[in-house]
A and B are shown apart, each in its own frame.
Chain A
Amino acid sequence: MTPEQYAQAVREALADHPERDELLEDLDDHLGEIAAESDLPLEERLGPPGVYAEELAAAYGDRPESGGNRRTAARAWGRRVGALLRVSAPYSGFRAFLPELRPGWWVLRGYLLAMVVVSFAAQVRLVPMNPGDWAVVLAGIFVSVWFGRRAGSRVVVLLAVAANAVAALALFAGMVEAGGLTTPVPSESVATAGRGEPVYMRQASSDGVYNLRPYAKDGTPLTDVYLYDQDGNPFTTRPEDYGYQVDRSCGDPVLNRYPLPLIDGDAAMEQEPGMDAPKAPACGSVTPSAAPSSAPTVSPTPARTKGD
């Protein structure tokens, strides 16, 4: 290794030293002097350039010795990984391609930040809903592109990092929201009733109701009452969401016939505080029917008064 090569290796080893140029000002002449005094190779007389560089920096005083602390070791490790990546062809190609993606990101960033702004003003949304939204989106894209094209001062870089973070969060939140919309809404579900034809069964469980107890006008508890909604669909609950199960000891019960015979985890009949437990229908006493034969009608009979 010539003095020039050795000096260059030392320079590279001290690439991150804040005063490298001042420290190594006359290193070439110094190494040339040493080389001129002996035929022995410099590596043999002075050791490897990396070790020489560490010793030099330690004597200079602005950097700890080799392995002196974890930060130094981590930086050295980072430099080695960086050097390995730089000579990797796929990584180099990827890095070269990244700048071409910038304009696209600037547009997307402006759009996302604009949607964040309009979502604060009204309801949360991912696409512009009115001309006002479009105006904000266009302004956001314009500002974002203008911002991206400016050569970065420190303040601009910090602002850009903050804007990128907000935009990335908005993008992530939007993706989560979009994913949530594809999940079936559990308030209505397709079930099979009657002859096996799928019908939409209205659920009341979203209101915290898992059973119904009908009573007659005079306070008599009613049993085996079939309930339907305004469209004639069976009105059902989801007791399993509340820790109960429909008692199937007498076969499959009709799920819109109330009160439902419920059992809890201990297989006991549901018992609500302060109320008598409704009796489950006797096995075989009721013919199951999933749908009314006709829509329920109300035929009010005017009460006769004395004198009519």
Chain B
Amino acid sequence: MDSSQLLKGVLDLAVLAVLKERDGYGYDVVRRLREAGLDEVGDASVYGTLRRLFKAGALTSYVVASDEGPHRKYYGLNDVGRQMYATSAKTWGSFSATMAALLKEERS
């Protein structure tokens, strides 16, 4: 199965999970997702998801000046984002448990 198709459905939750841990800027979020094992995540997909979540009012943003490179726009969860994360995480937990049980039955 193409994991990139699965990723599309849970990218919002993955990004929210990364930002729940700590605030981050665009490329930082991409890098942390890849470090977590989501190797196929695309930079444009993450950047677009960040902009959409920000537009939906789930994220705050602030600019941090940098002496070494360009200014960085950091994103973090606000109350709406945290609520969205909690709801999505619950849904995912239930869904993944169902899938795990289903696959366990298939294996046995």
Contacts and interface: CB of A to CB of B under 8 A. Distances in A.
Contact of B27 (A30, A55, A58): A30
B49 A59 contact: yes
Q: Report, nearest first, the 4 A-B pairs whose CB atoms are least far apart.
A: A59-B48, A55-B44, A32-B70, A56-B44
Given A23-B48, A59-B49, A60-B52, A34 B43 contact: yes
Overall SS of chain A's interface: helix
Contacts of A25: 51
Contacts of B55: 19, 22
Contacts of B27: 30, 33-34, 37
Nearest to B46: A59
Decide if the interface of chain B is mainly helix, strand, loop or mixed: helix
A18 to B, nearest CB: 12
B69 A36 contact: yes
Interface in A21-70: 22-23, 25-30, 32-34, 36-37, 45-46, 52-53, 55-61
In which size bucket is the chain B interface? 20 to 34
A269 to B, nearest CB: 86
Contacts of B68: 36
Contact of B71 (A23, A29, A56): A29
Contacts of B25: 30, 33
B94 to A, nearest CB: 24
Given A25-B51, A59-B52, A33 B44 contact: no
19 contacts: A26-B26, A28-B70, A29-B71, A29-B73, A30-B25, A30-B73, A32-B69, A33-B25, A33-B69, A36-B70, A46-B44, A52-B44, A55-B44, A56-B44, A59-B46, A59-B47, A59-B48, A59-B52, A60-B51
